[in-house]
Amino acid sequence: MQSRKNCHKSIWVLSGTGDGPLLVRALVQKGWRVSVSVVSVQASFAYEGLPLANLWIGPLEGVKGIVGVLKNAELRGEEFQWVLDATHPFAQVISGNLEKACSKRNQPLLCFQRVLETSSSSTIIRSPEELSTKDLKGRRVLLALGKRELRQAVRSSNEAGAIVFVRILPTPESLSEALRSGLPNNHLAALKPLQGDSIGAYELALCRRWLITDVVCRESGGATQDLWQQICQRNQLGLFLIARPRASNKLENVSSVAELIERVSQNG
Residue 231 confidence (pLDDT): 95
Task: Provide the Cα torsion 234, 238, 242, 247; round to 10°.
Answer: 40
Residue 247 confidence (pLDDT): 67
Cβ 85 vs Cβ 98: under 8 Å:
yes
What total of structural domains would you count in the chain? 2
Residue 249 confidence (pLDDT): 65
In sequence order, what are the beta bridge partners of 253?
Answer: 111
Report mean pLDDT in 10-residue bins for the chain, 268 residues. 54 86 94 93 89 93 93 91 90 90 94 80 93 97 91 96 94 87 92 82 95 94 88 96 79 87 81
Residue 2 confidence (pLDDT): 38
Asked if residue 222 and residue 206 are part of one domain, the reply reads yes
Residue 4 confidence (pLDDT): 46
262 SS3 class: helix
Residue 1 confidence (pLDDT): 33
Asked if residue 140 and residue 203 are part of one domain, the reply reads yes
In sequence order, what are the beta bridge partners of 38?
Answer: 57
CA gap 77, 69 in Å, rounded? 13
Residue 65: inside a domain: yes
Residue 4: inside a domain: no
Residue 72: inside a domain: yes
Residue 2: inside a domain: no
> What DSSP line would sit under 25-62, residue for residue?
HHHHHTT-EEEEEESSHHHHGGGTTS--SEEEES---H
Residue 5: inside a domain: no
CATH code, domain with 102:
3.40.50.720
Asked if residue 212 and residue 262 are part of one domain, the reply reads no
Residue 92 confidence (pLDDT): 82
pTM, entire model: 0.81
Domain residues for the domain of 166 are: 123-242
Asked if residue 64 and residue 94 are part of one domain, the reply reads yes
Residue 158: inside a domain: yes
